[in-house]
């Protein structure tokens, strides 16, 4: 691949970053739209974030996507941010400008778009949602549910205190009913939920995590009309989604969120709003199938 001096430069910083699907994703769009650009994986150790960002900006990069473990630190170094990054306290995109760094976060927008694509026009209107996990992805999921006009989100976490802290932090800032508890409350809250969102790494393979043998909760407690969304996308079908499928529930995997959160970043870096197509999804599915 030849990268001429005129190319628009972008990339993704993380540690580690070799597992990231973003170079493949953005590379697909650069080729599809015939854009003179390049998008590269950038392994940056946590202590080197500041110097790496300065260097990339000085070397002419337009900006970078940001993944684990840099999302919060990247937000902290930015002088300005969009509303979602401000609410999440984390950035998944940093844009480099003359005035400094601009933090953006499209995780919630990406999940909302994925849910809309799968659930149809009614989306989450008036629905009760149960959310498992209280980390950064769960925070983005709450924003997504609020943007889709869900009625309420009940956040259940292994550590109930962390779920309570998350809910207390967001309650004054967004317009949706929020409750919290421990995983033991699942049977009680599942009965009137129309969507379960799983936002913990349980069931994920790679990055040293062994796939969990059993889902964190029993999907038998959900109504027959409920859907189950897992933010984990490797494997594409997690034990939780397998159990939901076996029960006849609608399932939504984490790849949709990944694809849709990337579209606004690509537009910011390269000036074209890309389409999330079946061909793109099929390409990434085949990459995931080959991953250890
Ligand atoms: P995080 O900030 O580290 O949050 C971890 C959360 O998961 C915490 O609430 C933690 O509970 C809980 N947890 C961890 N291991 C657990 C286990 N074995 N059993 C029960 N609970 C467990 O992680 P994150 O950034 O929110 O990411 C969560 C998942 O979402 C990851 O798998 C990530 O790959 C995925 N994700 C996907 C996308 C996408 O585009 N599809 C985007 C972002 C994230 P405690 O508080 O009790 O420790």
How many residues appear in the chain? 292
Residue closest by Cα to atom 41 of ligand 1: 254
Residue closest by Cα to atom 38 of ligand 1: 231
Instruction: Return the structure tokens found at 144.
Output: 């997504």
Q: How far is the CA of 34 from the centre of ligand 1 (A)?
A: 36
The stretch 87-109 carries a mean pLDDT of: 96
- Percent residues over pLDDT 70 in the chain: 97
Atom of ligand 1 nearest to the CA of 261: 40
Atom of ligand 1 nearest to the CA of 136: 26
Regarding the beta carbon of 284 and ligand 1, being less than 6 Å apart is answered no
Q: In a mutational test of the pocket of ligand 1, which residue from 131, 135, 214 has the highest number of ligand atoms less than 8 Å from its CB?
A: 135
pLDDT for 207 equals 44
Give the up-direction half-sphere exposure of residue 180: CA atoms within 13 A in the CB hemisphere.
20
Q: What are the pLDDT digits (tens) for 134-171? A: 999 999 999 999 999 999 999 999 999 999 999 999 99
Spatial separation of the C-alpha atoms in residues 260 and 169, rounded to whole Å: 26
Q: How far is the CA of 51 from the centre of ligand 1 (A)?
A: 28
The stretch 221-228 carries a mean pLDDT of: 97
Q: What are the pLDDT digits (tens) for 3-58? A: 888 999 999 999 999 999 999 999 999 999 999 999 999 999 999 999 999 999 99
Please give the model's pTM, rounded to 2 decimal places.
0.96
Residue 241 confidence class, pLDDT cut points 50, 70, 90:
very high
Residue 120 confidence class, pLDDT cut points 50, 70, 90:
confident
pLDDT for 210 equals 56
pLDDT for 98 equals 84
Which of the two residues, 209 and 71, has the higher pLDDT score? 71
pLDDT for 211 equals 54
Q: How far is the CA of 30 from the centre of ligand 1 (A)?
A: 30
Regarding the beta carbon of 133 and ligand 1, being less than 6 Å apart is answered yes
Active site residues: 71
pLDDT for 2 equals 84
Q: How far is the CA of 288 from the centre of ligand 1 (A)?
A: 19
Residue closest by Cα to atom 1 of ligand 1: 135
């Amino acid at each position: 691949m030849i990268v001429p001096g005129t190319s628009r430069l972008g990339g993704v910083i993380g540690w580690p970053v070799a597992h990231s699907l973003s170079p493949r994703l953005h590379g697909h769009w650069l080729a599809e739209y015939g854009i003179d650009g390049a998008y590269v994986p950038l392994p940056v150790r946590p202590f080197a974030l500041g110097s790496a960002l300065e260097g990339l900006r000085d070397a002419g990069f337009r900006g970078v996507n940001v993944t684990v473990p840099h999302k919060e630190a990247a937000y902290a170094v930015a002088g300005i941010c969009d509303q979602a990054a401000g609410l999440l306290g984390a950035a998944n995109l940093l844009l480099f400008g003359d005035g400094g760094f601009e933090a953006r976060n499209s995780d919630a927008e990406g999940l909302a778009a994925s849910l809309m694509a799968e659930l149809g026009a009614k989306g989450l209107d008036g629905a009760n949602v149960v959310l498992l996990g209280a980390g950064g992805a769960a925070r983005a999921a709450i924003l997504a549910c609020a943007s889709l006009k869900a009625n309420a989100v009940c956040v259940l976490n292994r550590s109930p205190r962390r779920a309570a802290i998350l809910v207390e932090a967001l309650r004054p800032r967004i317009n949706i009913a929020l409750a919290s508890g421990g995983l033991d409350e699942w049977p009680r809250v599942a009965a009137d939920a129309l969507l379960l969102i799983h936002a913990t790494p349980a069931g994920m393979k790679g990055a040293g995590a062994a796939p969990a043998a059993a889902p964190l909760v029993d999907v038998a407690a959900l109504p027959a009309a409920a859907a189950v969304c897992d933010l984990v996308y490797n494997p594409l079908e997690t034990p939780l989604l397998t159990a939901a499928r076996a029960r006849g529930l609608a399932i939504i995997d984490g790849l949709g969120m990944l694809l849709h959160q990337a579209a606004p970043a690509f537009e910011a870096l390269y000036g074209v709003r890309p389409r999330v197509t079946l061909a793109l999804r099929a390409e990434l599915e085949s990459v995931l199938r080959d991953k250890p």
